[in-house]
Amino acid sequence: MRVLNRLLQRLVVVGLGIFSVWLIVFVVFDTADQRLPWILAVSLTYGIAAYVILPRILARLTSTGPWPWRTRRSRPSGSFSSRMLAR
């Protein structure tokens, strides 16, 4: 059951990734490229993708909502290899 759950989660992530690339390339860039000069179309597509589309998709993938501006991280104890062996 655990393996099936992981597989479904990964399929959702891959599906959202494919959808976001399709949306950025074939909808946003195609529309901008028809109406604006090439360099402005690329700049506008980058801005929309980086600041509108991708943050919303990443917020859907995380259970906490939008990415936090700052994260609190506890100080790691021990070396990296000892932490990896403990898993």
| Angstrom distance (rounded) from CA 23 to CA 25 | 6
- Mean pLDDT over 26-36 rounds to 90
Q: With contact defined as beta carbons under 8 Å apart, do 49 and 37 qualify?
A: no
For residue 78, the model assigns a pLDDT of 55
Q: How far is CA 83 from the centre of its chain?
A: 27
Whether the predicted pLDDT of 44 surpasses 70: yes
Nearest Cα to Cα of residue 27 among 55, 62, 52:
52
Q: With contact defined as beta carbons under 8 Å apart, do 59 and 67 qualify?
A: yes
The secondary structure of residue 53, as a DSSP letter, is: I
For residue 16, the model assigns a pLDDT of 87
Mean pLDDT of the chain: 79
Helices (H) and strands (E) in the chain, counts: 5, 0
- Mean pLDDT over 60-67 rounds to 63
Q: What is the pTM of this model?
A: 0.58
